[in-house]
Amino acid sequence: MTREAYAFWLREPGVAEIRPAALPAPGPDEVLVRARYSGVSRGTETLVFAGRVPADQYATMRAPFQEGDFPGPVKYGYLSVGVVEQGPAELRGRTVFCLHPHQSAYVVPASAVVPVPDGVPAARAVLAGTVETAVNALWDAPPLVGDRVSVVGAGMVGCGVAALLARFPGVRVELVDADPDRAAVAAALGVDFATPERATGGRDLVVHASANSDGLQRSLELFFPECTVLDFQLVRRPRGAAGAGRGCSTPAG
């Protein structure tokens, strides 16, 4: 059984360290999880590591089970997959996903973990948080039938958004990225592809997921008057929050 743990802490911007973490005995409605994989969100965690989280976004950017606060010391992260070592019988021995910071083992409420389906490799399951981010994006700006949508940035989040959009009836999706090799990924997702200079204009919805200012500028150039431009580089909101209405807007940037 896991009796001790180690956690990744940002001591101050640009300076990290591994600290021991005391594990309490799990209660009747809690689980002890031994982590197998911990994923790093390149966009969000780069902001955190560099100390570039705006002060007015501290509460919005706070992660579940975070300790400390920005700019540091802070224990941050939210993509963890592990095995339940102690807890309710139906979860013991199961591989689960949890929105937990980078830590070798942890105790959380049983309701905070989601069992990973048997057919999904544990290493791939860390992408569950990325898929949730993509879902959040479409809560903020749900497409309408017949919409012409561009997703700028074919990283994990952008591809996740494009994959979900491809399932909406009557929605035409174009994935935009500076790397022409991403065309093969777009084809696999069932959406169109274009490099920034060849991207189609007059779009009803533009989702910016490139994590750079050039991508945001190109996103603003692609929209149709009265469209929605969604830049969710800093958008984090709790599951179940109400969605925003249509209109020309930039929720964050």
Taking only the tens place, the pLDDT of each residue in 136-158 is 888 888 899 999 999 999 988 89
Of 154, 130, 134, 129, nearest to 230 by C-alpha is 134
- For position 201, which CATH number holds? 3.40.50.720
Residues 94 and 153 in one domain: no
**What range does the domain containing 36 cover?**
5-126
Residues 122 and 142 in one domain: no
Asked if residue 242 belongs to a domain, the reply is: no
**Structure pTM?**
0.76
| Strand partners of residue 17 | 9
At 56-81, the pLDDT tens digits run: 999 989 999 999 999 999 999 999 99
Q: What sign for the dihedral angle of Cα 138, 57, 124, 49?
A: positive
Cα–Cα distance between 186 and 243 in angstroms, integer?
27
Residue 244 has pLDDT above 70, yes or no: no
Indicate the pLDDT class of residue 50, thresholds 50, 70 and 90. very high
Indicate the pLDDT class of residue 175, thresholds 50, 70 and 90. very high
Query: What 3-state DSSP class applies to 115?
Result: strand
Indicate the pLDDT class of residue 176, thresholds 50, 70 and 90. very high
Residues 55 and 84 in one domain: yes
Residues 83 and 186 in one domain: no
Residues 10 and 122 in one domain: yes
Domain end (from 93, 126, 159): 126
Residues 48 and 139 in one domain: no
Residue 240 has pLDDT above 50, yes or no: no
At 77-105, the pLDDT tens digits run: 999 999 999 999 999 999 999 999 999 99
Structure confidence at residue 2 (pLDDT)? 57
- For position 50, which CATH number holds? 3.90.180.10
Mean residue pLDDT across the chain: 88
Residues 106 and 175 in one domain: no
Domain end (from 70, 93, 126): 126
Indicate the pLDDT class of residue 162, thresholds 50, 70 and 90. very high
Residues 120 and 18 in one domain: yes
Q: What is the mean pLDDT of residues 130-134?
A: 87
Residue 29 has pLDDT above 60, yes or no: yes
Asked if residue 243 belongs to a domain, the reply is: no
User: Edge-to-edge, what's the strand order for the sheet holding 203-208?
Assistant: 192-194, 172-176, 148-152, 203-208, 223-231
